[in-house]
Structure 1
Amino acid sequence: MGSRLSSRYCSLGFINGGVLAVVGPTRMAYERVIPVVDITARLLSSALTTEER
């Protein structure tokens, strides 16, 4: 079995968005992967919000 980590991202007006996910082994390095998924989702949200303006 494997593991999945996900985080939602969206624009300020909630027009654009989705889910960023990482699929990996059950024993992946969660302490390293979780912050990367979180930061990447925040950057995507920021980029989408900037495009709307």
Structure 2
Amino acid sequence: MPMPEVARRAGFGSEVKMRRHFASRLATSPRAYRAAFSTRASVSELAGSNPIAR
């Protein structure tokens, strides 16, 4: 999701306000945070080849 949309949905008036708030609280940028903590793995990859049956 693009940062302006994230900022809007999170209740910040603008991307700039969100970046400033984010940096003051977490001492990093949203981009750096996303790069450090995001995953591109699919659900099946995260579950493994033999997920628990229900």
> For the superposition of Structure 1 and Structure 2, which TM-score range results when normalised by the shorter chain?
under 0.3
Query: Whose radius of gyration is greater, 1 or 2?
Result: 2
Where is the strand percentage greater, Structure 1 or Structure 2? 1
Where is the helix percentage greater, Structure 1 or Structure 2? 2
